[in-house]
């Protein structure tokens, strides 16, 4: 029997790539196991976005070394695979396959070569491809959410970012193929879809039939779909019709993740973000002028080369103007192949640490106020975890806020419950169920049982 074990790190794109890789392997006659010692093939889906990602990968590979044995094979895939390429064979000779995400559509052929005994198989030369990795065999491993990648790669080349080098050039799927996938997800019983792309709103329908906003509306109108999320939007391509689509389509969630990276126009220029502070704030104003209460979240990098105290102050004032519901703050870290690696990493580590702490403290105050507004409101929550250690059920509101609540019954994952908010914290809300849970369909429960074995780390 052919068996495999997969470990996944990184963003949601990577988690979803793994779902497609798992589906492909199963289609090729492999069985997934949860114990790496039992697996014939061990796959490691890697991320290289920040810090010393490649060192961590080699460290983990070193641990794999102990598992070497008769017929056991190792594959390194994803962003570090693409970035380090055949260096992986030099440092970890027991690895037989190294492949970046642009080559996954060739996986069946690579697996055949692996089974034939080849030990130096690469999928590294496809970054200029126009093709996307579409498969009907996706393993839907998330118990309540179906992912759809509508655009792969990235052509933005922000000066700090590895993604254009690891995931290749931007390419979109036809809206017809996206909608067919949305239908399949609905038929499996999922009511929530997350639309994915590195720059999801840079989507360009190759058939020319739909804009990104029109595609969102069409997904939101698929029978059975209650919630549609999309990530990550780039401010440069964020158009007003996206806000209008949210206003007009009940299934589109009240949430936009719009990473600003910095509040300083000078730093934005050095980052090659192709917008200014004012341009960004104009887009924020569109979302604030919407009829719906759209929650905003962001990614922010502190300590980019040359960032002055004044620039950092601009980021703090921007936080206050926008009033985000969450931010993901990062210290700048130089990445291989990126233009910024040639700039002097001029901000001392202590200063980066200090700026990140100030950023997070300021953001916490903002969230305390924002989350405080929900006290005594009733929010519809989709259940994500059956019960935590305190016996609370955990789920999310349309705004993507975590809600922990008590309920007389134990609602299944994927149920919807109306919850009255009784307590507020800067990162979560607490409440009690005031409606009988609307249970997920039998189809979703069957799908959840099928995927109970799948592991995703990260």
Task: Tell me if 231 contacts ligand SF4 by CB under 6 A.
Answer: no
Counting residues that bind ligand 5AD (by CB under 6 A) gives: 12
**Interface with ligand SF4 in residues 69-88 (CB under 6 A):** 78-79
For residues 313 to 332, the per-residue mask of contacts with ligand 5AD, x marking binding by CB under 6 A and - elsewhere, is: -----------------x-x
Spatial separation of the C-alpha atoms in residues 412 and 422, rounded to whole Å:
22
Which single residue is written with the structure tokens 């497609």? 20
Judge if the upstream peptide bond of residue 232 is cis by omega within 30 degrees of 0.
yes
Task: Tell me if 161 contacts ligand 5AD by CB under 6 A.
Answer: yes
Coil, helix or strand at residue 429 = strand
Two tokens at 381?
């929550």
Binding region for ligand SF4 (CB under 6 A) out of 46-54, 102-110, 280-288, 309-317: 46-54
Name which position in 61, 163, 213, 252 contacts ligand SF4 (CB under 6 A). 163
Contacts of 61 (CB under 8 A, 6+ apart): 44, 74, 76, 88, 91, 92, 95
Spatial separation of the C-alpha atoms in residues 338 and 50, rounded to whole Å:
12
Phi, psi of 164 (to 5 degrees): -60, -25
Q: How far is the CB of 28 from ligand 5AD (least distance, A)?
A: 32
Coil, helix or strand at residue 334 = coil
| Cβ-based neighbour number of residue 333 at 10 Å | 16
- Which of ligand 5AD, ligand SF4, none does residue 332 bind to, with CB < 5 to 8 Å depending on kind? ligand 5AD
Task: Tell me if 259 contacts ligand 5AD by CB under 6 A.
Answer: yes
- Which of ligand 5AD, ligand SF4, none does residue 439 bind to, with CB < 5 to 8 Å depending on kind? none
Two tokens at 407?
């309920």
Tell me whether residue 17 or residue 325 sits nearer to ligand SF4 (CB atom): 17
Tell me whether residue 79 or residue 215 sits nearer to ligand SF4 (CB atom): 79
Contact 104, 21 (CB under 8 A): yes
Contact 26, 140 (CB under 8 A): no
Spatial separation of the C-alpha atoms in residues 224 and 435, rounded to whole Å:
20
For residues 32 to 71, the per-residue mask of contacts with ligand 5AD, x marking binding by CB under 6 A and - elsewhere, is: -----------------xx---------------------
- Which of ligand 5AD, ligand SF4, none does residue 129 bind to, with CB < 5 to 8 Å depending on kind? none
Q: How far is the CB of 13 from ligand SF4 (least distance, A)?
A: 5
- Which of ligand SF4, ligand 5AD, none does residue 261 bind to, with CB < 5 to 8 Å depending on kind? ligand 5AD
Q: How far is the CB of 261 from ligand 5AD (least distance, A)?
A: 6
Contacts of 207 (CB under 8 A, 6+ apart): 174, 175, 176
Tell me whether residue 248 or residue 343 sits nearer to ligand 5AD (CB atom): 343
List interacting residues with ligand 5AD (CB under 6 A).
Answer: 49-50, 160-161, 259, 261, 299, 301, 330, 332-333, 335
């Amino acid at each position: 029997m052919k068996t495999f074990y997969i470990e996944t790190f990184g963003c949601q794109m990577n988690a979803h790539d793994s779902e497609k890789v798992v589906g492909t392997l199963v289609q090729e006659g492999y069985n997934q196991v949860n114990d790496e010692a039992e697996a014939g093939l061990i796959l490691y889906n890697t991320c290289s976005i920040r810090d010393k990602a490649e060192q961590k990968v080699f460290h983990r590979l070193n641990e794999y070394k102990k598992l070497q044995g008769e017929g056991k094979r190792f594959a390194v895939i994803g962003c570090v695979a693409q970035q380090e390429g055949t260096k992986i064979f030099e440092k970890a000779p027991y690895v037989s396959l190294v492949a970046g995400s642009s080559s996954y559509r060739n996986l069946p052929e690579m697996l055949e070569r692996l089974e034939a005994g080849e030990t130096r198989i690469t999928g590294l030369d496809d970054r200029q491809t126009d093709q996307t990795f579409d498969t009907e065999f996706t393993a839907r491993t998330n118990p309540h959410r179906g992912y759809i990648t509508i655009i792969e790669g990235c052509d933005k080349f922000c000066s700090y970012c590895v993604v254009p080098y690891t995931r290749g050039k931007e390419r979109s799927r036809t809206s017809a193929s996206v909608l067919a996938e949305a239908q399949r997800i609905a038929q499996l019983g999922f009511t929530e879809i997350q639309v994915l792309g590195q720059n999801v709103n840079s989507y360009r329908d190759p058939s020319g039939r739909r804009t990104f906003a029109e595609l969102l509306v069409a997904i939101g109108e698929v029978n059975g779909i209650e919630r549609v999320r999309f990530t990550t939007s780039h401010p440069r391509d964020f158009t007003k019709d996206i806000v209008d689509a949210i206003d007009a389509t009940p299934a589109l969630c009240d949430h936009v993740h719009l990473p600003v990276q910095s509040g300083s126009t000078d730093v934005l220029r050095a980052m090659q973000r192709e917008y200014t502070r004012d341009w960004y704030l104009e887009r924020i104003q569109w979302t604030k002028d919407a009829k719906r209460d759209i929650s905003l979240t962001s990614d922010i990098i502190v300590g980019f080369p040359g960032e002055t105290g004044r620039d950092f102050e601009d980021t703090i004032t921007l936080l206050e103007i926008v009033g985000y519901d969450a931010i993901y703050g990062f210290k700048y870290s130089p990445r291989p192949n990126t233009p910024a690696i040639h700039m002097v990493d001029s901000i001392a580590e202590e200063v980066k640490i200090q700026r990140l702490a100030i950023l997070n403290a300021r953001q916490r105050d903002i969230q305390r106020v924002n989350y405080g507004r929900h006290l005594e409101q009733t929010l519809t929550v989709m259940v994500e975890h059956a019960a935590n250690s305190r016996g609370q059920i955990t789920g999310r509101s349309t705004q993507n806020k975590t809600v922990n609540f008590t309920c007389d019954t134990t609602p299944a994952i994927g149920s919807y419950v109306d919850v009255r908010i009784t307590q507020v914290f800067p990162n979560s809300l607490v409440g009690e169920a005031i409606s009988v849970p609307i249970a997920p369909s039998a189809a979703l429960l069957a799908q959840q049982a099928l995927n109970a074995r799948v592991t995703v780390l990260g």
